């Protein structure tokens, strides 16, 4: 118990120290978090009428980000799998950083669940076995598997850091089974999220069995893109060196998963629009608009351009192997997939409605500020988790030793 208390105290003491850049970064995030808390209060006192959602379109920016971030959380397995199954040395040194990213992403998902519910005091309805939506609702199952994934990453990640902190070897009989379970569990969280949409027969745009495959392909592209960007920031701003071999492997994973995602998206376009039945109206609206309504058309084509351009750049060695240029295709792919998995998938599934109504949706200021604030909270948590993890991995935080000052 004394070691555990010392671990928590040293970890906290270390992450609170930093230079000017650190405090400016955290201060900016804190301002956005305060703004998020204000509009969240506004939404819960005045109701969801302050958002752009309506009776016709009752899922918007919140669910779009929820779906996307589940993929980002699942994408952490692209580090864990090569490190522990194929014993990739470069990945093994930074595996815990991927687990910290997964923790932050799942916490953001839960905040988007709160935002989306409208009445957070009724959250217990999704808690099994007494919640009325626990096992009968796919959202209840989604929350259940996400809680399991969060717990697995907390235990695996912080147990590993605790072992490093105390200088004791990792108990592989306890540790490795949890690692293997977390690998399989990562696939399950995005599969269940895909079922959350695809099990709606009244929504033809979602109602097909390829949805889980599309979700996993985009997850293994968007997640590693964010991880690569995080690794490059770590390399440039800390003493920790992330090996080129780890970044190279992640880049390869992104390239081919992004290619598969583009192929699946374009295949759906051909299948849906070749016959052009009424079931293709959602996709047709997304691509070209319906009855003169075109709010989402720029979103779709922006996503296509960003994803295809990023894929081409990943195929060019001058971009793929240059860490100064690599952030460009990573950012393009990340934003493109965010659009494709969010505004380009969730919203057009409601247009037109099952009775043929065509109602457009655009997020209100409240939704945008709440969304930005939740992302800020996620990066706030991620910064703390990564800073402490790097301090332990670098030996600056250790049991019986004074945590080194951070410059």
CATH assignment, 2-393 = 1.20.1630.10
Give the model's pLDDT for residue 403: 44
Q: What is the DSSP letter of 60?
A: -
pLDDT, tens digit (0-9, with 9 covering 90-100), for 50-73: 998 888 888 889 989 999 999 899
Cβ neighbourhood burial of 270 (10 Å; 0-12, 13-18, 19+): exposed
Sign of CA dihedral 86, 87, 91, 92: positive
Cβ neighbourhood burial of 273 (10 Å; 0-12, 13-18, 19+): middle
Region 324-334: mean pLDDT is 93
Whether the predicted pLDDT of 124 surpasses 80: no
Give the model's pLDDT for residue 401: 63
Sign of CA dihedral 286, 291, 295, 298: positive
pLDDT, tens digit (0-9, with 9 covering 90-100), for 242-295: 888 889 999 999 999 999 999 998 888 888 888 888 788 888 888 888 888 888
Give the model's pLDDT for residue 407: 34
Question: DSSP secondary structure string, 104-127?
Answer: HHHHHHHHHHHHHHS-GGGGGGGS
Query: Rounded distance, CA 307 to CA 319, Å?
Result: 15
Residue for token pair 């969010």: 342
Query: If you count DSSP H runs as helices and E runs as strands, how many of each does the chain have, helices first?
Result: 15, 0
Query: Rounded distance, CA 394 to CA 404, Å?
Result: 10
Whether the predicted pLDDT of 398 surpasses 90: no
């Amino acid at each position: 118990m004394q070691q555990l208390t010392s671990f928590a105290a040293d970890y906290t003491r270390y992450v609170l120290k930093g230079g000017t850049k650190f405090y400016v970064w955290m201060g900016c995030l804190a301002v956005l978090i305060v703004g998020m808390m204000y509009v969240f209060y506004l939404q819960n006192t005045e109701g969801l009428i302050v958002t752009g959602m309506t009776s016709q379109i009752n899922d918007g920016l919140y669910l779009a980000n929820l779906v996307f971030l589940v993929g980002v959380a699942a994408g952490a397995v692209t580090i864990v799998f090569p490190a522990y199954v194929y014993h990739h040395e470069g990945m093994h040194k930074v595996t815990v950083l991927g687990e910290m990213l997964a923790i932050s992403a799942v916490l953001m998902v839960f905040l988007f669940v709160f935002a989306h519910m409208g009445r957070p005091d009724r959250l217990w309805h999704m808690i099994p076995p007494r919640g009325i939506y626990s096992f009968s609702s796919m959202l209840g199952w989604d929350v259940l598997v996400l809680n399991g994934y969060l717990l697995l990453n907390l235990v695996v990640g912080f147990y590993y850091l605790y072992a490093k902190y105390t200088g004791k070897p990792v108990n592989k009989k306890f540790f490795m089974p949890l690692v293997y379970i977390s690998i399989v569990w990562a696939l399950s969280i995005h599969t269940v999220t895909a079922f959350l949409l695809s099990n709606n027969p009244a929504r033809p745009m979602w109602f097909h069995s390829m949805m889980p495959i599309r979700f996993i392909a985009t997850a293994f592209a968007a997640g590693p893109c964010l991880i690569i960007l995080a690794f490059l920031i770590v390399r440039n701003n800390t003493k920790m060196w992330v090996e080129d071999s780890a970044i190279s492997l992640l880049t390869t994973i992104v390239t081919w998963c992004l290619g598969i995602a583009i192929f699946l998206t374009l295949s759906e376009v051909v299948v849906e629009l070749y016959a052009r039945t009424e079931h293709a109206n959602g996709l047709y609206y997304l691509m070209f608009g319906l009855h003169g309504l075109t709010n989402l058309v720029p979103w779709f084509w922006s996503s296509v351009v960003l994803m295809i351009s990023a894929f081409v750049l990943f195929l060019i060695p001058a971009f793929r192997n240059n860490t100064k240029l690599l952030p460009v295709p990573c950012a393009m792919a990340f934003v493109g997939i965010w659009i494709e998995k969010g505004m380009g998938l969730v919203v057009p599934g409601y247009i037109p409605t099952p009775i043929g109504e065509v109602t457009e949706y655009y997020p209100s200021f409240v939704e945008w500020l709440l969304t930005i604030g939740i992302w800020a909270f996620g990066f706030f948590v991620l910064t703390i988790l990564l800073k402490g993890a790097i301090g332990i991995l670098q030996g600056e935080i250790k049991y019986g030793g004074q945590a080194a000052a951070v410059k």
